[in-house]
Structure 1
Amino acid sequence: MHLTASLTALTLPELPAGTASVDVYFDDARVWSIDVRERANGASTSQPVPGGEVEWPAALLPYLVGSARVSLTDSASGAELAGAETQFTKAPQRTRVIDASGATLVINKWGRLGVALEVMGDEVQTRIVQRAAELVDFLAARGLRPFVVGGTLLGAVRSQSLLPHDDDADIAYLSTHTDPVEVAAEAFRLGHAIAAAGYEVRRHSAAHLQLMFRDEAGALQHYIDVFTAFFTADGCVNQPFHVRDATRVDQMLPFGTVRINDTDFPAPADTEHWLTINYDKNWRTPIPGYQLVTPDATRRRFNNWFGAFNLHREFWDEHFSGDPLAEAREAEWAAGRWWLETGDAHAPTLIELGSGAGTLTRAFAAQRPSRRVIGADFCEIALAQASNWGEQHDPDHHTPPEYAHANLYRVTALALPHDVGVVGAFDLVANHLLEQLGHLGREQVWRLARMALATGGSARFTFHEKHAVDVTFEDPTGWHLSRAQLETEAQRFGLALTFRSLGGSREATGTTVSLAQPTAPYSPLPERLPMTSPARHRIKSRLRRLFSPSVSGIADELQHERDRVTALEHEIDELRRDSLRIAELTDVLEQRLTPAPGAEAPDALK
């Protein structure tokens, strides 16, 4: 078999019949696994799997330096299928994909680089199993019903061990609630309890917690995911972010037991059913390159019910992991920065949203030493770099700004001014944040802008009106927005926008926000009336006309119905999103108004 590799792609040879997954090695290190089942294109498993060119994942490209023996092995058997010495560049070194500590990195199921369990070693894997067992006990002690899921369950059923190509442990608990509001509120309470127990928690959604475990030096060693699972009235079991399928209660309860190494864990009563709805019918076959593909309807439902609080956070973590002031990196925000710096920010406090490495934040702090300046971001790495900049470059602490964590995908971000102790008027600025933020995150920006304006402050933002030539969903720095989009969004919150063109190849634009009218943030959804018999008759008549071949204008009828369906989908999205808003507000009230044990109740609760 002949294998070739270049700086852009790997050319696979024809593979033996029945091959489901192959591992790619550089010398003796696995760096990538490829699910090749689609290449068979439905052909019989007795026929060879066609070869062909496969582009390298973007995350691998910076590492293609020097030379390596590139080889291909069958993921199931470990047998080598092909190999060839490859020179990527003329650099006199072996190609290595490693992190700062020297650990081998591999492309994970999300297309990003990470450290797989097979590289972590037996000691770390043993620690992961022990910590997972401790978390199961912690959840059970709180009256919850924990069980293992995902790759952890798959490894236990297949080999009574952790999957070597996985990078974490997965635990869920089966809630007794069926309403998304109650499910989310319960999950928020659990998150606070886990954090109070001393764990480092990163919340991906209302129904997904990630617990981070670090070594003595503070470097991330591994993590354990904790998911919420629950039944809904339609007979489906749900485990965001991916699992939703018809399931009987007796397929879940009473829990059975699976073993990992020498430790027992609770598992669904019917593990085969769970693994099939989590993966597919081929779950018994090792496919390290398997990628979860969540149906759009399921993804949409879960995102609206429970949010997507972690959207692109890993991108920003990687983005700011290098030199925070690198020219190429800072150029993304430079266009239009001058316009914000020369604006009419007159309040005694200024908050910058999406402050990143803090370049603009520091500029504002230097402008007026008497002004309090606060930079806010949801990337902890960026916040740490911005905070440390003063220690390295301004030891005398001339006009030091402050920094705070704020996740705009959460309603709790609206507490930012209160949490940082803002009193009186404040100005709000954001430099190229709007177009690099999802629309649900922008809702919090508009609300914070209303707050700033209501205090007597100002609100000014910049954005790009043209996308980057190489724009992708994975890299939000290349995104753009139109003036019309922003005006439509702002109007929903009683805000008006004025624009100024700032130039540049991507048409940088500045917008000044003002209060249009003192209305509620939302225009209420139209009341849905019960479907009466005349209404049913009209629909039946329309359907008869729609499918009658003699009716002219059928294309218009179809488009009209599509528009109605789209409008209904948006209404359903908004109603589901209200579930999350209610749960988040409930969480805020409980956290801020519930007294600590032994403390007197706040006045608001008396």
Structure 2
Amino acid sequence: MSSTPARPTAQDARFAVDDAGLRVPVEHAGPWRVAFDGRVVLSLTTAPEGDDDVAEAAWVGVTSTFLDGVSHVTLHRGEEEVDLGEVAFGSGEGRVDFSDGEGHPVVIDKWGLAQQPFDTRGADVPRFLAERALELCAIARDECGIELWIAFGTLLGAARSGSVIPHDSDIDLAFLADDDTPYRLHAQLYALRRALSRAGLWVVNKTGSFLTVRYDAPDGSDVSIDVYTCFHLHDLLYETASARAPLPREAVLPLTTMTFEGLELPAPADPSALLEVSYGPGWRHPDPSFEHKPSYAVRSRFDGWFGNAMRRRRDWEVHWESAGRSGSASDFSRWVRQRVAEGTLVVELGIGRGDDAVAYARAGLPVAGLDYARQAGRAVIRVRGQIPRSMLAWSVVNLYDLRDCLAWGAEVARRGEERRVVVARGTLEALRPEERDGFWALVRMLGRRSAGLLLELDESTGVGEEGRDGTWRFPATRAEVREAVARAGGRVVEEVLVGTDECQVRGGVRWRMVADWPQPSSPRQEKR
């Protein structure tokens, strides 16, 4: 732990917070809610470390990016409150401010991400989402024969008060699938996605049993509705990857209705039975110490049955949320710009902050980029209005989702530019070796009939480990690149050693590689 003085007013000085996290006496280990200047921002669960008489918890996710300045910190658990007084974080200048770039107050959720809860949003946002939920229910019923109902936190809010839970941030819906095989359950959810997409909605698949529909709220914020698949298998009801219980079909169907934000929304036949499975027998009353921890058996089954299109997405979103808001283009991008003729479309697989993409566009190279993290592309947002969208565009694309890759690749291929080049820097080794199918599928689609592939690779043969930038890197070799390019009908024509100091992986070496396809000409064409 850091030695930053906390000046606590608590009687036991073992209660403390600093730049690293929270510390409490070991006899007080467990969950605590942490408030800054009177507003609860996050919950942390402290645990003993070795034989010490204290229990600790590090700040989660993006929390540290907000901790710069001074704040009056209090800890809360049930009726218990511990006042730590004024605490200095980071530079110690100004006040700690948990708000987003537009000044909206945020909290830190259990994943470590900054979220805007309902109690900090416009008063019309909950009603707006309830209306959208009714529309989703109608589309699912009319187009797919699927009966959606309010679930999880939304059902809990309806049962307790008929409204959203103040610290919640989205709406949850679910449906009981008719099938019990992963293949047919996948197909049913994707049929629902296609129906929602045809209706003009922005839909993102998270797993084979979970999708999200995103909206622009009346207050200008980004809001969402999650839709989950539920099903019966061997007399057990499975609710997404969070619950498995011996509940009969009659606990769900036939659906009834419950009042939620002044509207009547479909609800399960026995709401209390489902809520007890998710939140325990005390679900009727808020319990700040409650922690929902799905069993390993449930989580591992769902991961095997339905996959996970969010693998490490939150890690990358935390990384780009906390990364600097501005930077300069990489040496790799300068190397690319020296080799590619003006007007060539740059297809960038993994734009990160977007500094390279901006540099390409300013050099007369139109850009079509992708990234996994929704918090990526900050440099692109910064120059919006200065560079035409036709010259600089990027999309959130999931390289773990082959459907997503193929759909985006087809859109890029239809753009019709006479020349394009595929570039990637640090993207391949950010994926586990067994999870690179989407990356190479795009190279096969877009590498053919292109000016080639320009790649920067941190070559490593060891196990996956944390890089110097805090993100994980996994074994990747030039041999893998040569083989994958050959399978795509191309060949690696140049390999340039950059050095060891630049490599993110300890003991690794950084290389730049050029792959070419027989037609058209080589990407090693000098810029004219």
Provide TM-score, normalisation by structure 2: 0.75
Q: Is the 8 A contact 1:449 1:513 kept in 2?
A: no
1:74 matches 2:73: no
What residue number does 2:32 align with?
Answer: 22
- Unaligned stretches of 5+ in structure 2? 1-10, 504-508, 518-528
What residue number does 1:64 align with?
Answer: 67
- What SS does structure 2 have at the residue aligned with 1:81? strand
The worse-fitting range, judged by mean Cα deviation, of 27-36 and 470-479 is: 470-479
What residue number does 1:326 align with?
Answer: 326
2 CA distance for matches of 1:253 and 1:133? 18
Cα separation, partners in 2 of 1:380 and 1:98, compared to 1, 3 Å: closer
1:374 matches 2:368: yes
- What SS does structure 1 have at the residue aligned with 2:186? helix
What residue number does 1:124 align with?
Answer: 125
Greater RCO between the two (CA within 8 Å, min separation 6)? Answer: 1
CA RMSD of aligned residues (A): 4.4
What residue number does 2:431 align with?
Answer: 437
Matched ranges for 1:31-430 at <5 A: 31-35=41-45, 52-75=55-78, 79-89=79-89, 91=92, 93-120=94-121, 122-142=123-143, 143-216=145-218, 218-220=220-222, 222-232=223-233, 234-255=234-255, 258-260=258-260, 263-279=263-279, 283=283, 286-288=286-288, 292-296=292-296, 298-313=298-313, 326-327=326-327, 334=330, 336-337=332-333, 340-341=336-337, 350-361=346-357, 374-379=368-373, 382=376, 385-386=379-380, 389=383, 391-392=385-386, 400=391, 403=394, 406-412=397-403, 413-420=405-412, 421=414, 426-430=420-424
Q: Is the 8 A contact 2:347 2:368 kept in 1?
A: yes
Deviation at 1:279?
Answer: 4.7
1:9 matches 2:21: yes
Provide TM-score, normalisation by structure 1: 0.66
Deviation at 1:241?
Answer: 3.8
2 CA distance for matches of 1:418 and 1:385? 26
Q: Is the 8 A contact 2:140 2:195 kept in 1?
A: no
- Unaligned stretches of 5+ in structure 1? 40-49, 516-606
Deviation at 1:479?
Answer: 2.0
Amino acid at match of 2:326: A
2 CA distance for matches of 1:489 and 1:235? 48
Cα separation, partners in 2 of 1:343 and 1:231, compared to 1, 3 Å: farther
What residue number does 1:501 align with?
Answer: 497
The alignment-based identity, stated in percent, is 25
Q: Kindly indicate which of the two structures has a greater share of residues assigned to helix.
A: 1
Q: Is the 8 A contact 1:228 1:239 kept in 2?
A: yes
Q: Is the 8 A contact 2:128 2:217 kept in 1?
A: no
- What SS does structure 2 have at the residue aligned with 1:155? helix
Amino acid at match of 1:465: E
Deviations 1:258-296 (A, max 9, x none): 554655544444545534543556656644465544445
Q: Is the 8 A contact 2:209 2:228 kept in 1?
A: yes
Q: Report how many aligned residue pairs link the two structures.
A: 489
Deviation at 1:172?
Answer: 0.6
1 CA distance for matches of 2:104 and 2:31? 24
1 CA distance for matches of 2:473 and 2:344? 33
The worse-fitting range, judged by mean Cα deviation, of 107-116 and 492-501 is: 492-501
Deviations 1:76-104 (A, max 9, x none): xxx34211213214745333322234333
Deviation at 1:248?
Answer: 3.1
2 CA distance for matches of 1:114 and 1:513? 42
Cα separation, partners in 2 of 1:383 and 1:338, compared to 1, 3 Å: closer
